[in-house]
């Protein structure tokens, strides 16, 4: 049977080198008050004995863990991956660790994630809400302890929270208006639950673009889906059955839009001649699909960096997120072949 070695302590290092534990502690911190050679001996001996710094105990003493908790609704998304890359870039630069919790689009799991991060004593929280999150009471425990929380992308729009978003209304309006400018008269919208801000605002933009161009709204053209791969196939099949078939589609997720294009083409439908299509996010798939997909550029890395920097500046006392309720990240329409009916 394998014998597990006992955890080495600073007292073991002190005993090995016949010096005080205080000297060892300072030497491990590379304190210049300790002779350079002694510091090297201490650090070499610590390595030989397999000494590990007790970050948890140190955190309890300082009442600070230098850890940021992240709650995200999914991980298999190019957008979320790019947001995490932006957050990690800033946390690595500023000496913070991150703990990632995944709600899997479940309110119950999001509540459990918030509780776990609270008991792990994170210094701050960055969160994006699940599809079915009903209220934000599970974040009140952080507020009560003075732990800052910033929401990004999927948020509750109110005067209490600090939110980092894009102008989803403007993006929805621009995407729809572009299709109208290309001559589209019957435009289908494929989106997700309208109880979430991002989809509700894109829907509003879609409706207003139709109204401003004297195109009547038809609720049968609004398909509420989960924006998965299956959703792309499902949406394409529903579009094919519509008589007459729509001549434009605004699909609020690039991956679903790409699958929809593939399915339509497999059924002999030409893109953009028969139906022009606009996606959302500017994911890598938008440049791979044929024809390349017109989309809204949603810069996830920028959103991650801006969110993390605002939170950490607040923690360091450089700024106060309570004074900035909404931070809007720039987004724009990128026009490619999938929507260009007018060559």
Segments making up each domain of the chain, as ranges: 10-53, 63-165+300-329, 168-297
Q: How confident is the model at residue 4 (pLDDT cuts 50, 70, 90)?
A: low
What is the CATH class of 10-53?
Answer: mainly alpha
pLDDT of 192 reads 92
The CATH architecture one would assign to domain 63-165+300-329 is 3-Layer(aba) Sandwich (3.40)
Instruction: Tell me the C-alpha distance between 338 and 279, whole Å.
Output: 9
Q: Per-residue DSSP letters for 245-296?
A: PPSEEEES-HHHHHHHHHHHHHTT--TTTT-EEE-SB--THHHHSSSPPBEE
At the topology level of CATH, where does 168-297 sit?
Rossmann fold (3.40.50)
Can 63-165+300-329 and 168-297 be said to share one CATH topology?
yes
Percent of the chain with pLDDT over 70: 95
pLDDT of 319 over the 90 cut: no
pLDDT of 49 over the 80 cut: yes
Prediction pTM value: 0.80
Least confident residue range of 21-25, 116-120, 293-297, 300-304: 21-25
- The pLDDT tens digits of the residues spanning 130-173 come to 988 988 999 999 988 889 999 999 999 887 889 999 999 999 99
pLDDT of 63 reads 65
- The pLDDT tens digits of the residues spanning 54-70 come to 655 555 555 678 899 99
Name, in order, each residue with C-beta under 8 angstroms of 321's C-beta and a sequence gap of 6 or more: 148, 150, 162, 310, 311, 314
pLDDT of 58 reads 56
Peptide bond into 272 cis (omega under 30): yes
Name, in order, each residue with C-beta under 8 angstroms of 299's C-beta and a sequence gap of 6 or more: 82, 282, 329, 330, 331
pLDDT of 92 over the 80 cut: yes
């Amino acid at each position: 049977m394998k014998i597990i070695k006992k955890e080495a302590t600073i007292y073991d290092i002190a005993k090995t080198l016949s010096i005080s534990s205080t000297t060892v502690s300072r030497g491990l911190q590379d304190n210049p008050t300790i002779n350079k050679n002694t510091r090297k001996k201490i650090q070499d001996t610590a390595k030989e004995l397999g000494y590990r710094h007790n970050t948890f105990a140190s955190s309890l003493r300082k009442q600070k863990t230098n850890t940021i908790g992240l709650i995200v609704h999914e991980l298999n998304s190019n957008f979320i991956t790019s947001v995490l890359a932006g957050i990690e870039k800033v946390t690595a630069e500023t000496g913070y660790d991150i703990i990632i919790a995944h709600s899997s689009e479940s309110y119950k799991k999001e509540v459990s994630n918030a509780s776990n991060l609270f008991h792990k004593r994170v210094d701050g929280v960055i969160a994006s809400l699940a599809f079915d999150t009903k209220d934000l009471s599970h974040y009140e425990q952080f507020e009560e302890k003075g732990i800052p929380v910033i929401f990004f992308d999927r948020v509750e729009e109110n005067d209490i929270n600090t939110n980092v978003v894009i102008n989803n209304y403007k993006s929805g309006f621009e995407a729809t208006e572009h299709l109208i400018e290309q001559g589209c008269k019957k435009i289908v919208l494929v989106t997700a639950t309208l109880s979430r801000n991002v989809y509700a605002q894109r829907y509003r933009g879609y409706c207003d673009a139709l109204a401003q161009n004297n195109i009547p709204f038809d609720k049968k053209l609004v398909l509420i889906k989960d924006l998965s791969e299956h959703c792309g196939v499902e949406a394409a099949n529903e579009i094919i059955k519509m008589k007459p078939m729509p001549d434009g589609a605004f699909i609020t997720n690039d991956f679903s839009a790409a699958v929809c294009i593939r399915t339509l083409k497999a059924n002999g439908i030409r893109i953009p001649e028969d139906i022009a299509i606009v996606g959302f996010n500017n994911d890598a798939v938008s440049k791979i699909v044929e024809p390349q997909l017109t989309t809204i550029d949603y810069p996830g890395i920028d959103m991650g960096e801006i969110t993390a920097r605002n939170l950490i500046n607040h923690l360091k006392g450089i700024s106060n997120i309570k004074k900035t309720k909404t931070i809007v990240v720039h987004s724009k329409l990128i026009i490619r072949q999938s929507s260009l009916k007018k060559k």
